[in-house]
Amino acid sequence: MRHYCFYLVLLLAITACEQDASVVYKENVDIEGGKWYVKNTPSFTFNITDANIPYDLYYTVRNGLAYPYYNLYLTRYLTDDKGQEIESRLDELLLMDAKTGQPRGKGLGDLYDNKVVLKRAYRFPKPGTYTLRIKQYMRQDPLPDVVSVGISVEKSPQ
């Protein structure tokens, strides 16, 4: 019986490592009290060692079921290691179905995790350190029931 448990744990560990092999950077920031103020701009700094390959970038958002909107507008600012802005853009994330109100993310209880494409097959201009800042761009301040926000940078499947 012990051997089976050992092999099961080993198999789970190997599988978990394989799934994360494409992830270059992943971080989430908790939103204090679940109230996201406009002045709260989470910042994520990551290193790109190979600019010759494409990367997929994702927003990660955890929200409560009581989140009052079906969407979330975010402004993103991407800068290089010299602070030079490479890009800024307003994005709309659909967190719930507009007609049914059903959450689009994966959830347990009243919390839902959303992973939404920010950029697909993006090629960074050069190797180096990059910073992505995220700012909520909704009319309500603070924005309720947003528990955490983050990004994930992954090697794009080729």
Instruction: Convert the pLDDT of each residue in 28-49 to its tens digit.
Output: 999 999 999 999 999 999 999 9
Residue range 128-148, pLDDT digits in tens: 999 999 999 999 999 999 999
Average pLDDT over residues 120-130: 97
This prediction has a pTM of 0.85
Whether pLDDT at 14 is above 70: no
Q: Are 151 and 30 in contact (CB under 8 A)?
A: no
Checking if the pLDDT of 11 tops 80, the result is no
Q: What confidence tier does 90 reach under pLDDT thresholds 50, 70, 90?
A: very high
Structural domains of the chain in order of their starting residue, each with its CATH number: 22-155 (2.60.120.380)
CB 56 within 8 A of CB 117: yes
Give the distance between the most distant pair of CA atoms in the chain.
Answer: 58
Which positions ≥6 away from 82 have C-beta within 8 Å? Answer: none
